[in-house]
Chains A and B, each alone.
Chain A
Amino acid sequence: MALNWYRFSSPATFYPLAGRLVPLFGWGAAVLAAVGLWLGFVVAPTDFQQGEVYRIIFIHVPSAWMSMFLYVVMAFWGALLLGFNTRLSGMMAQAIAPTGALMTFIALWSGALWGRPTWGTYWAWDARMTSELILLFLYFGIIALRQAIGDPRRADRACAVLALVGVVNIPIIYFSVKWWNTLHQGASVKLTGSSMETTMLAGMLVMSFAFWFYAIAVVLARVRTIVLERERGAAWVAELPEARSA
């Protein structure tokens, strides 16, 4: 049976659906994080080069992956908004931005803490660190642009344009910085084979799913509040049980 996606593009139908999904993904994130941290801190062996300090990888890499992934997802919703003019797309993009910025910040912060014992410095002008920093600025730019625009519909569309321009730029920024200077260790996880111990890899992947589920849960919870805020005048909001009891 084909799922009717258009049905859920209306905030009124999406709101209860998101409400059902939030605990699902929230608990999923908690369980995955517990398993991932157990794998990472108990099962995975000590690294023969870096010792115990490498274990920050279980936070660092998932957050770095999510920071980039979330930007692409945000741009995707922006493209949907500009293409189909669906209100919900703009709200989704709005809800993703803070979580994306948070992930970027965690990636930078954990990277600094990891860099100090292994490279002897908190910060290096290395390609991936620098492009991650620029990604943080891009997130801040989108959040600031939304703050500056009063009308939410205009803010949605302006942020969508900016996100799309940014998403074209991200690979260019990445490669420009990469060719400019590089010090970061080569990517340990490649699509063809990996240079990591299996348990380490498993821990990292489970943690990535934990971060992913967390992001979905938080974004859906946030989008619910955005829906309520923007649709507060609508009849269906007034008929919600939580609105009646308040």
Chain B
Amino acid sequence: MSGMALRSPAPAAFEAAAGRTADGALAGLRWAAARDLRLALRSRAELGVQLLFYVIVVALFPLSMTPERNLLATMGPGVLWVAALLASLLSLPRLFATDHADGTLEQIALSPYPLEALVAGKVLAHWLTTGLPVALLAPLLALQYYLDAGSVAVLVAGLLLGTPILSLLGAVGAALTLGLRGGGGSLLALLILPLYVPVLIFGAGAVDAARAGLGATANLSLLGAGLALALVGTPFAAAAAVRIALD
């Protein structure tokens, strides 16, 4: 990777204290996550609005058809998952764009912590403030779709496994579209939504399989495998994309 050359040289002592050790990476991750969490919790209204978006999208679907019990129970998992995808997509610009706009991102990238770890920390904070609330809110919304308790449990388990993948993949797209014309809104959707497809299929499929009596293990395992893969790969891709944007 050409990244090493791009990273600013740090004083040797500082490098040893914070730099490319496992401890350094962990410290960087923790620092970035704590900072982004603090920032997010200072604008709680914004977080609330994002969750409300999720609630409203979920409530729109029954209004667009006859709210028949069986139909809604069949559609429910898919609708909740699509809404989760959209809620994640909508909150992605928060990940890097504000930091990029005021120059903070450049300073963050200059720090001796590995950028991959810092990006991972930001993604963790993003998930804690979007994916996790979405997963926790899902049982309430599932009631509107007449899902039974077993399906709801599978739905929440799937969301807990799947929404981190959304944040991780989304970080790559958010970094790639930094500072572009049009603010990245619909472009980001075009880049990221196709990549979200497997998460949607396995996540909604888990609930369908559970409802059909096939058991949700296969789908949930695949989501878990996807999460492992995304955890390993996407921080590097997102960090590379951030460096490209700052170049």
The residues of A that contact B176 with a CB separation of less than 8 Å are: 145, 158, 161-162
Bound form: Cα–Cα A176–B195 in Å: 12
User: With an 8 A cutoff between CB atoms, is A192 at the interface?
Assistant: no
Query: CB-CB < 8 A to A166: which residues of B?
Result: 195
Inter-chain contact B190/A172, CB cutoff 8 Å: no
Taking the closest CB of chain B, its distance from the CB of A147, in whole angstroms, is 9
Q: Could you tell me the distance between the alpha carbons of A173 and B182 in the complex, rounded to whole angstroms?
A: 28
B152 close to chain A: CB less than 8 A: no
Cα A150 to Cα B201 in complex, Å, equals: 35
A140 to B190, CA, bound (A): 8
Contacting pair A172 B198 (CB below 8 A): yes
Please determine whether B194 and A134 come into contact, CB atoms closer than 8 angstroms. Answer: yes
Chain B residues positioned under 8 Å from A140 (CB to CB): 190
Instruction: Report whether B237 and A176 are in contact in the complex, using a CB–CB cutoff of 8 Å.
Output: no
The listed residue (B172, B190, B197) touching A177 by CB distance below 8 A is B197
Q: Among A148, A158, A176, which residue has its beta carbon within 8 angstroms of that of B201?
A: A176
**Pairwise interchain contact B194-A141, C-beta atoms closer than 8 A:** yes
A173 x B187 contact (CB < 8 A): no
**Which one of B15-23, B67-75, B131-139, B239-247 contacts A?**
B239-247
Least distance between A67 CB and chain B CB atoms (Å): 14
> What interface size band does chain B fall in?
20 to 34
Contacts of A150 in B (CB 8 A): 181
What's the minimum C-beta distance from A70 to chain B, rounded to whole angstroms? Answer: 17
Which residue of chain A has the shortest Cβ distance to B199 in the bound complex?
A176
Are B198 and A173 in touch, CB under 8 angstroms?
Answer: yes
The A-contacting residues of B in range 207-238, CB under 8 angstroms, are: 222, 226, 229, 233-234, 237
Q: A148 touching B194 by the CB < 8 A rule?
A: no
Chain A positions within 8 Å of B187 at CB level: 144-145, 148
Q: Does B202 contact A (CB under 8 A)?
A: yes
Closest-by-CB residue of B relative to A159 is B176
B177 touching A180 by the CB < 8 A rule?
Answer: no
Q: Is the CB of B1 within 8 A of A82?
A: yes
Asked if B191 contacts A141 (CB within 8 A), the reply is yes
Residues in B neighbouring A179, C-beta threshold 8 A: 201, 205
Near B by CB (< 8 A), chain A positions 127-183 give: 134, 137-138, 140-141, 144-145, 148-150, 153-154, 157-158, 161-162, 164-166, 168-169, 172-173, 176-177, 179-180
Q: Is B64 an interface residue (CB 8 A)?
A: no
B49 CB-CB contact with A under 8 Å: no
Q: Mark A68-104, 1 if CB is under 8 A from B, else 0.
A: 0000000000000011010000000000000000000
Closest to B184 in A: A148
With contact pairs A82-B1, A137-B190, A161-B244 given, residues A176 and B172 touching in the complex (Cβ less than 8 Å): no
Cβ 8 A contact of B194, one of A82, A137, A161: A137
Q: What residues on A are CB-neighbors of B198 within 8 Å?
A: 169, 172-173, 176
Q: CB distance B195 to A165 under 8 Å?
A: yes
Q: Which residues of A contact B197 (CB under 8 A)?
A: 134, 173, 176-177
Contacts of A145 in B (CB 8 A): 176-177, 187, 191
Q: Which residue of B lies closest to A174 (CB)?
A: B198
Max chain A Cβ within 10 angstroms of own Cβ: one of B2, B195, B229: B195
What residues of chain B have their CB less than 8 Å away from a CB belonging to chain A? 1-2, 169, 172, 176-177, 180-182, 187, 190-191, 193-195, 197-198, 201-202, 205, 222, 226, 229, 233-234, 237, 240-241, 244-245, 247
Report 9 cross-chain contacts, Cβ distance below 8 Å, ordered by A residue.
Answer: A82-B2, A157-B244, A157-B247, A161-B172, A162-B176, A164-B237, A168-B229, A176-B222, A180-B201
Known: A140-B190, A162-B176, A165-B172. 15 other contacts (CB 8 A): A83-B1, A85-B2, A134-B194, A144-B191, A148-B181, A150-B181, A157-B244, A161-B240, A162-B191, A165-B233, A165-B237, A169-B194, A173-B198, A176-B197, A176-B222
